[in-house]
Amino acid sequence: MADTTISQEDFLKFREFFYRKTGIHFDDSKRYFVDKRLIERIVATESVTFRSYFVMLRFETSGEELQALTNLMTVNETYFFREEYQFKCLVNTLLPEIITSKKEGQLLRIWSVPSSSGEEAYSIAIYLLEYWPGINHWDVEIISSDIDTKILAQARNGDYSARSVEKLPAYFLEKYFRRKGDAYQISDDLKQAVEFTKVNLMKPEDVRPYRGFDIIFCRNLLIYFDDLSRRTAADTFFDALNPGGFLCLGHSESMSRISSLYQTRKFADSVVYQKSKEAQ
């Protein structure tokens, strides 16, 4: 029978390894959460002890177990205004900096990937309209992409559950949504404001046309990729960005472990990654 005891030393060792591989850090308060999921995988893989599981996790050639564990350790859900601090950073810092190097009349372009069911892209649109005075002077294009055509159809359709919109102030619900029974549908104006497209980030022919972006949001996607795919995505975003453009990752993701192409910028609201202004 498996010995599923996880000592404090095991926890610390696992935490350090998992952080190095995924950028996800668990503080001490998450001990129960981490232990529960580790034990689940120790049992599922029929490992005898934490140590034998950990050795397998580290050196398994396929990386499948690390992926299974990562999926278990991350909560795959999206909702309006998720990680709102980055939207604050967008309107307070990133856009004001971007427009200093733009000529009047030039278009600002934002890419949100993966789109999932559209919450992030529509959140960006709402945030710009509500909190960025520059929206009265600049045209902004928001493109949101995903590999999954079903989820893209859902995003274009714009129907959301009450849970998905629960972080939104009531005023925004009235202004930007139509009530449909227990659900909410995004307004036609916002639907018209976001372009949803299918893209596979790993296919050069798919990503080639995606160029000239000022800001890219790619949050909570890279944690699901293997190391080489992460690096490929980082390379792709680099050439999709304009010089001086910004890349926003999820709160638990860090570019410094993936690629050295970007400069890390620490702002009051968020840490973001920037393509050098001098880069071609």
Q: Tell me which residues touch other proteins (CB under 8 A).
A: 7, 9-10, 13, 49-52, 54-55, 58-63, 107, 125, 128-129, 135-136, 138-143, 189, 192-195, 197, 204, 208-210, 227-228, 231-232, 235-236, 238-239, 259-261, 279-280
CB of 259 to other proteins, least distance (A): 6
CB of 182 to other proteins, least distance (A): 28
Nearer residue to other proteins within complex by CB, 6 or 248: 6
Nearer residue to other proteins within complex by CB, 35 or 235: 235
CB of 178 to other proteins, least distance (A): 17
For the chain, the straight-line distance linking the first and the last C-alpha, in angstroms and rounded, comes to 59
Nearer residue to other proteins within complex by CB, 187 or 251: 187
Nearer residue to other proteins within complex by CB, 54 or 81: 54
**Residue 143 Cα distances to 20, 21, 109, 156, angstroms:** 31, 30, 8, 12
CB of 235 to other proteins, least distance (A): 5
Query: Closest Cα to residue 110, out of 231, 194, 186, 190?
Result: 194
CB of 77 to other proteins, least distance (A): 26
Contact 102, 190 (CB under 8 A): no
Contact 148, 221 (CB under 8 A): no
CA-CA distance, 13 to 9, in Å (whole number)?
A: 6
In one letter, which amino acid is 186?
I
Q: What is the residue whose two structure tokens read 């919450």?
A: 119
**Residue 2 Cα distances to 46, 48, 65, 238, angstroms:** 7, 4, 18, 46
CB of 135 to other proteins, least distance (A): 5
Give the H or E element holding residue 273: strand 271-274
CA-CA distance, 250 to 216, in Å (whole number)?
A: 12
Nearer residue to other proteins within complex by CB, 97 or 239: 239
Nearer residue to other proteins within complex by CB, 66 or 89: 66
The tokens of 149 are what?
A: 């055509």
